[in-house]
Structure 1
Amino acid sequence: MLSQIVRPMVRTQIRLLANSQATRSTLVNTIAQWLGFLGVHAQVTQLDATSNKIHVSLTVGKPEGCDAHDWQQILNNLDRNGSLEHTVPSEPFTTPSPQQTKLQRLLAYVIQVGHPNGVPAWEMLQPQLAELGFDEPTLLGIKSALKVPQSLDQLIAGLDADIAAIALPKAVSIALLDRQVNPSEDKALTALLDAMKQPVAP
């Protein structure tokens, strides 16, 4: 499923970047999202466009599954050669306002179907979602939407392709919080992928 999602998602996000009024912050967030799929917690510290290429500098945390001793040894080895300075924190994940409520409800749906035996307490979910880069208004919207059942068909109906492209990587990250994708989550991701394939408005 993920292999079917990644390539069209990248193509659509590239089109969105070309039409974005906030290309730099959008690209910063996108790079962090892509690395997050690999279990790597990364923050973009520098991004410049020169000579027909984009140069990116990253701050990378200990990858999931990495032995703590090995990671510390890597840090010790690198520290001998100095460290990067002047870090630029990436901006939190935000969405355009017109469809923000629908997006929050859709992400709440992914959480709901990912926990068929009952959604965990918000105190447990909130830190995990915050690590994915959601801003406080989005978190509050998801919290509110979790209180009522959501309908995938209603949420997908009329969903803009650009919003679907923004939502899909976040939905994938939410689905992978437990390291597996169940059939209901797969259905939601597929529906988002189909919505994303619509032509992007110029």
Structure 2
Amino acid sequence: MVNTQIRLLAKSQATRSTLIKTIIKWLGFLGVEAKVTQLDTLGDKIQVSITVAQPDTSEDNDWQEILNHLNQDTSETIEFASDRSSSIPAAQETKYQRILAYAIQMSNPDKIDWEQVYPQLQLLGLEESMLLGIKSALKVPQSIDRLVKDLDADVAAVALSQTASIALLDRQVNPEEYQALQTLLKAMADNCR
């Protein structure tokens, strides 16, 4: 999917507006209203600045807490590596692997071909040990409701992102994948309270 997006942008005569619309659309899937305020190149990278408004469905006090936390420490800079799974606590790792296995099972409930799935998961930046755990978890049916029980909110956020990536590998989200995404979103919200 990433290669497809890159090709579309490369062939677009309106690369800037297409990229801006894509960013806004992706954030919109999360219920976030965003405005791209800057889009430039920086060497071999693209630098994007966005302004994000409070989502309509969020509580005012939650949004204010977020703003307060962000205003407390403005010196923090984070570099995100391509491997999002490295931030998963060891105690939640098996649960995380099973959630991703569930996402794969829902994307193709009839038959899972590991040889086909494996390279796609590698493109998501998952470590080899994580991939082996997912492969093992694919051998048994998973229950998303049981998996999200006592799931750390931060792990739910990472799992939501990766589950969405898995769901979109075939460029469509089926009802089962949508339900899994909704369940993870709810778990994330419930565990933040």
TM-score greater than 0.5 by the shorter chain? yes
Note closer, same or farther for the CA distance 1:92–1:112 as it changes in structure 2 (3 Å cut): same
Taking the aligned partners of 1:111 and 1:96, their CA distance within structure 2 comes to 22
Counterpart in the other structure of 1:164: 156
Consecutive aligned runs of 4 or more in structure 1 exceeding 4 Å deviation: none
Cα distance between partner residues in 2 of 1:112 and 1:199: 25
Are residue 114 (structure 1) and residue 107 (structure 2) matched? yes
CA distance in 2: counterparts of 1:4 and 1:171, whole angstroms: 13
Q: Does 1:101 align with 2:126?
A: no
**Would you say 1:188 and 2:185 are equivalent positions?**
no
Give unmatched runs, 5+ long, in structure 2. Answer: 1-25, 34-51, 55-61
More relative contact order in 1 or in 2 (CA 8 Å, sep 6+)? 1
2: distance between equivalents of 1:126 and 1:101? 18
Calculate the TM-score normalised by the size of structure 1: 0.57
Look up the SS of the partner of 1:24 in the other structure. Answer: coil
SS of 2:91's partner is helix
Distance 1:184 1:129 in 2: 19
Q: Deviations over 1:87-124 (max 9, x none)?
A: xxx556322211010010011001001102211x2111
Q: Which runs of 5+ in 1 are unaligned?
A: 30-89
- Please give the root-mean-square deviation of Cα atoms over the aligned residues, in Å: 3.1
What is the correspondence of 1:15-34 to structure 2 with a 5 Å cutoff? 24-25=78-79, 28-29=80-81
Q: Percent identity?
A: 49
- Is structure 2 residue 32 aligned with structure 1 residue 7? yes
1:194 and 1:184 map into 2 onto residues whose CA distance is: 15
Q: Distance in 2 between matches of 1:152 and 1:92?
A: 20
Inter-partner Cα distance in structure 1 for 2:154 and 2:31 = 15
CA spacing shift, 1:177–1:91, aligned 2, 3 Å: closer
Opposite residue 120 of structure 2, the aligned amino acid is Q
Could you report, residue by residue, the CA deviation over 1:21-54 in whole angstroms, capped at 9, with x for unpaired residues?
x9624xx24xxxxxxxxxxxxxxxxxxxxxxxxx
Change (3 A) 1:23 1:159: farther
Distance 2:99 2:125 in 1: 17
* Pairing partner for 1:129 from 121, 129, 132: 121
What is the number of equivalent residue pairs in this alignment? 132
